[in-house]
A = this chain, B = another copy of it.
Amino acid sequence: MEFEALSSSELSAYLRGVPAVYALLDEPGELDIEEVGDGNLNFVYFASNARAPEKSVVVKQAPPFLRLVGKSWPLTRHRMEREVAALRRFGALCPQHVPRVYHADSDLFLMVMQRLSSHRILRQGLMDGVVYPKLAAHLSTYLAHTLFYGSDLFLAPDVKKQAVRDAVNSELCKVTEDLVFTYPFEDHPSNDYSPAFPRAEIGRLRQSPALRIAVAEMKWAFMNDAETLLHGDLHTGSIMVNQNDTYVIDPEFAFYGPMGFDIGAVLANLLLAYFSRDWHDRVHNAGAVRYRDWLLDQVTSIWGGFEQTFLKLWRDHESRRKSHFMGDDPGGVCAEAYRARFMQRLLAQSLGFAGCKMIRRIVGMAKVADITSIADNASRAAIEVRALRCAERLLVERNAIGNIAQVVSMARALQADGHVSP
């Protein structure tokens, strides 16, 4: 049967028939339904009590295709089950940063979840130059908790292996394998270059052995390293914020993968936001330099806060359990040295994934508004080239980069060098 999006009246009738939702919306006689999806994957609605609009929920339904492309790109509706399972799992680990799921329907591939009405998409806030003072602390907490508790550092080996099985998400992973790790480096019809984007850059991307090797290594890690339950698509459009709260939404890409993939997604999107300031500062004008600095500070503090919290969770857990992942180590010297090595490797992996994520947003199919909103073609191309250079260095030099400060210095240097030439 051909998929048809639910009409407002159908959805309204459906929601009023779900007792938990009906109660939550204060037993509405009538519901206002508004379609609000950004259109990449799913249909998303706000459903509010017409008489008490503050009583409101979000409804999300997965059609059997990639909405961004349409029916020509079929996609399993079971992604909704992955998303519900991931929201519940992450919500259990980090309730303050994950919206609540009120209801899930595995026949309609639909769920009803908490409405974040006083929050906005982080990407929009960053484009507007808004400072979120708690963002770094919140995101580093979210990352540390979700990545640690899903891994072999915490879970019993059999529980973890079962979790890996349960989280297999082939079709959504395939989207990433293609759109992030493969098509951007090919002469592929889905690629999309901005009007003034220098053609020489395209050749560079496709023909540099060092870059292509690094990207292939990240693709291999993405496909093989089942380290923890990832969000899988943690860009700044999957984060909702206000001055007090930070929520991570939309984990339909969740699967067991390499920890650095989520961290890299956050860092990549902050770096894209940073380079795009060259344009947005012209529009928003005031405080320009300081806001750029704030963005780079987020890069530093999110990694730093993540590292600190992750290590604390790890040390506390092993101290309670009186044993280490590596086995007994009475002095603790070896265990601590391994932790340091682990974090070093994780930083390198995160930077590699950040590089891939930045590249796909510049030359691949799915763009980011930070860059597509740049009205001046020449400015946009210059920003794109600078971001590409940064991405390439993150990928190729990832194992030599010793700390996050070097990443920030590199970004600053690329930004300062007005003549990054094709």
Contacts and interface: CB of A to CB of B under 8 A. Distances in A.
Interface of A: 152, 157-158, 160-162, 164-165, 168, 170-171, 173-174, 177, 181-183, 185-188, 206-209, 212-213, 215-217, 219-220, 223-227, 325-329, 331, 333-335, 337-338, 341-342, 345
11 contacts: A157-B173, A157-B223, A160-B223, A161-B168, A164-B164, A185-B326, A187-B328, A207-B334, A209-B334, A216-B326, A217-B341
A186 B327 contact: yes
A227 B224 CA distance: 5
Contacts of A338: 209, 212-213, 216-217
A327 B173 contact: no
Tell which of A157, A183, A327, A337 has the most Cβ of chain B within 10 Å: A327
Given A157-B223, A165-B165, A212 B170 contact: no
Contact of A158 (B157, B174, B185): B174
Nearest to A341: B213
Interface of A is mostly: helix
A337 B209 contact: yes
B326 A219 contact: yes
Contacts of A325: 216, 219-220
Nearest to A228: B224
Contacts of A327: 181-183, 185-186, 188
A212 B337 contact: yes
A334 B226 contact: no
Contacts of A226: 164, 224-226
Contacts of A162: 168, 170
B186 A174 contact: no
A275 to B, nearest CB: 25
A170 B160 CA distance: 9
A226 to B, nearest CB: 5
A164 B168 contact: yes
A340 to B, nearest CB: 9
Given A212-B334, A216-B325, A219-B326, A171 B158 contact: yes
B182 A161 contact: no
A173 B161 CA distance: 10
Nearest to A223: B152
A290 B165 CA distance: 49
Contacts of A177: 157
Given A157-B177, A161-B168, A208-B334, 5 more contacts: A157-B223, A181-B327, A209-B333, A212-B329, A212-B338
